[in-house]
Amino acid sequence: MCGIVAYIGKRQASPILLDGLRRLEYRGYDSAGIALWTDGGIDVYRKAGRIENLRKAVSEANPPGDLGISHTRWATHGAPTDENAHPHKDQSGNLALVHNGVIENYISIKDQLLAEGHTFQSETDTEVLAHLVGKCYDEGEETEPQAKLVAAVQAALPRVKGTFGIAVIHSDAPGVIVGSRLGSPLVVGLGKDEHFLASDVGAIVAHTRDVIYLNDYDLVTITRHGYDVSSLDTNRTASVKVSRVDFTEDDAEKGKFEHYMLKEIYEQPQSIRNALRGRLSRDEATAVLGGLNMSPMELRQIDRIIFSGCGTAYHAAMVGEYLMESLARIPTEIEFASEFRYRNVPTTKSTLQFVVSQSGETIDTLAALREAKRKGLRCLGIVNNVASTIARESDGGVYIHAGPEIGVAATKTFTSQVTIMTLLSLLFGRIHHLSSTDGLEMIDELEAIPEKIESILKQAPRIKEIAQKYANAEGMLFMGRQLNYPVAMEGALKMKEISYIYASGHPSAELKHGIIALVKPDLPSVFIAPDDAVFDKNVSNIEEVKARKGPVIAVTTEGCTDLERIADDVLYVPPCKSILSPLLTVVPLQLLSYYVALARGCDVDKPRNLAKSVTVE
């Protein structure tokens, strides 16, 4: 959610920090700030609103300095104001700190500090943390400023409850940045005579592709010429691994597209090819997924599967449930990751849990992973970020290889996640009862999906026309059956995320059980109704809506013209095996939501109140 960028080196820090913050805009934020070490102390600039407001303030001052920390804030404690923006200083004014996460016991710490004479300028938990670290610094026994700052962070952080990713600088220590994390990602970027610290590698990939992904309880000390990573709870040197970022600066840019979301919708044919590459065996008529770290015998012993995710990942998991039970006939459940650790979900010794997250840093999904491991379950990840916390803490898993997804509204990662779940279901199916003939048919159908999506994308002008027609609707209903019920949920989520139209997804058959009360002439319904086994049932539901003068947008299969006489507008997807239809039917819904948001003048890539990666509970 919030973003951190820090720099120490030989160049002027402010342009690097501001560019890094710009690259983190997609994560969601409502204010931004920067702190720079100068000969006169630490200069802080903070502005509510867009980064451009901060850029103007900094450019007017044109501050020197080759060391600094910066932050984009997504408000939790306190309104989005200049005063509540990060960085925050301590009581002395000599220390500055930026923070991602939530300090749960900040009130009790603040009360203690108030009693000691501290005064606060903001409503945030972060300023309390800055004061606590500053207090530990002022009371420290070390004499050398760098060692004293490290000791202060080590003394303060064990006293807080909650999550944090922090970067700290002090006016007495001009050559060092100290960082630490617990539940909030941090990555160290390595350069020549310069180093970086960021919450997301995308912020620094323009400057370096050699990075170290920190683990929980790591404490890092960064200077111009080196770094040291130790363990916060033991004070011992921590083992580190230098990784190479697998995408470039250009991969994270919009290119010829107006918005990241549109670019990523159009990238889906390639992202699905990437998800399939090297993972299909025609000789064995199955999927090859070595990253599961399980033998065929171990896989065969699995008698229950749980998928956990949030938001779009949860909807992909819903499709996964249908796929796994249809192809492999293994009882499968889906759980909101945000609820899993608070429930007492019955499991067996042969239960396998998958956690699904684009970023691999979603705090609720990470908590579900840790809860599953506490219960002794084997837990595998389905993630996009190869070096993420979930990827590191899982027993194995499958990377979706979708490339960087910058748009807040997930698109290509949904179809890539569904592709991976299809591969998993094929693998389990072949281990159990699925014939080689059926397996080869699935492989043929899967390999044809990217080209079919390309044909859907060519309908964008028609979808744009339909979107403009309904752009002023006060709400929308999305309905589908079987595997396309999750697609209805995902379509509704996309619509409300970026257009701010209230939208809800439902199984079509539930229409008569209450939802039909909402139907009226100015409330359009979107039906996902491909030519499958329940097509006639969907037609009946559409007739019920039309009988009550409700407008209908239908998504159906090419060559099936039955809906043209009933629905107001019809969009078509190519024919495919019905079990794979979600990979196609979701694409026109993504474009529909995009063009509706565009017609309403919404900021598609930066929807209000939303963040790309939810790293606080």
Tens of pLDDT along 145-156? Answer: 999 999 999 999
198-212, 232-246, 292-306, 402-416: which has the minimum mean pLDDT?
232-246
Instruction: Identify the H or E element spanning 337.
Output: helix 337-340
Closest CA to 69 of 11, 5, 16: 5
In 273-322, where do the E strands start and end? 280-281, 286-287, 304-309
The pLDDT of residue 602? 94
At 52, give phi and psi (nearest 5°): -60, -35
Pair type for strands 227-231 and 218-222: antiparallel
Give the max Cα distance, the chain.
83
What does the alpha-carbon distance between residue 315 and residue 443 come to, in Å, rounded to a whole number? Answer: 23
Closest CA to 438 of 322, 286, 320, 299: 286
DSSP 19-87: HHHHHTGGG--SEEEEEEEETTEEEEEEEES-HHHHHHHHHHH----SEEEEEEE--SSS-S-TTTSSP
The 10s digit of each residue's pLDDT in 375-387 is 999 999 999 988 7
Architecture of domain 3-252: 4-Layer Sandwich (3.60)
The pLDDT of residue 614? 67
110, 135, 148, 612: which one is catalytic? Answer: 612
> Residue 120 — pLDDT band, cuts 50, 70, 90?
very high
CB under 8 Å to 147, separation ≥6 — which residues?
Answer: none
28-32, 494-498, 517-521: which has the minimum mean pLDDT?
28-32
User: What end-to-end distance do the CA atoms of the chain give, in Å?
Assistant: 11
Residue with tokens 């020549």: 192
Higher pLDDT, 239 or 506: 506
Closest CA to 549 of 568, 529, 564, 535: 568
Mean pLDDT along residues 299-326: 96
Mark out the alpha helices in 458-581 (DSSP H runs): 460-470, 484-499, 535-547
Q: What is the DSSP letter of 527?
A: E
> Residue 141 — pLDDT band, cuts 50, 70, 90?
confident
The 10s digit of each residue's pLDDT in 516-541 is 999 899 999 999 999 999 988 999 99
The 10s digit of each residue's pLDDT in 405-443 is 888 899 999 999 999 999 999 999 999 999 999 999 999
Mean pLDDT along residues 21-32: 83
The pLDDT of residue 235? 67
Mean pLDDT along residues 326-342: 92
What does the alpha-carbon distance between residue 328 and residue 425 come to, in Å, rounded to a whole number? Answer: 6
Active site residue 2: yes
Active site residue 412: no
2, 310, 379, 576: which one is catalytic? Answer: 2
> Residue 454 — pLDDT band, cuts 50, 70, 90?
very high
Architecture of domain 254-457: 3-Layer(aba) Sandwich (3.40)
Please provide the size of the chain in residues.
Answer: 617
Residue ranges of the chain that CATH labels 3.40.50.10490: 254-457, 459-605
The pLDDT of residue 613? 63
Using the predicted structure, report yes or no on whether residue 106 has a pLDDT greater than 70.
Answer: yes
Please report, for residues 279, 299, 432, 581, 587, the alpha-carbon distance to residue 436 in angstroms, rounded to integers and kept in the order given: 16, 18, 11, 22, 30
Q: Is the pTM of this model over 0.85?
A: no
| Structural fold of domain 459-605 | Rossmann fold (3.40.50)
Would you say 334 and 318 are in contact if contact means Cβ atoms under 8 Å apart? yes
Q: Is 130 exposed, middle or buried (0-12, 13-18, 19+ CB in 10 A)?
A: buried
- Name, of 68-82, 353-367, 591-605, the range with top average pLDDT: 591-605
Sign of CA dihedral 467, 472, 473, 476: positive
Q: State what percent of residues in the chain have pLDDT above 70.
A: 98
Residue ranges of the chain that CATH labels 3.60.20.10: 3-252
Using the predicted structure, report yes or no on whether residue 482 has a pLDDT greater than 70.
Answer: yes
Other C-beta atoms closer than 10 Å to the C-beta of 243 total 15
User: For the chain, what is the mean pLDDT?
Assistant: 92
What does the alpha-carbon distance between residue 367 and residue 360 come to, in Å, rounded to a whole number? Answer: 11
Q: State what percent of residues in the chain have pLDDT above 90.
A: 75
Using the predicted structure, report yes or no on whether residue 617 has a pLDDT greater than 60.
Answer: no
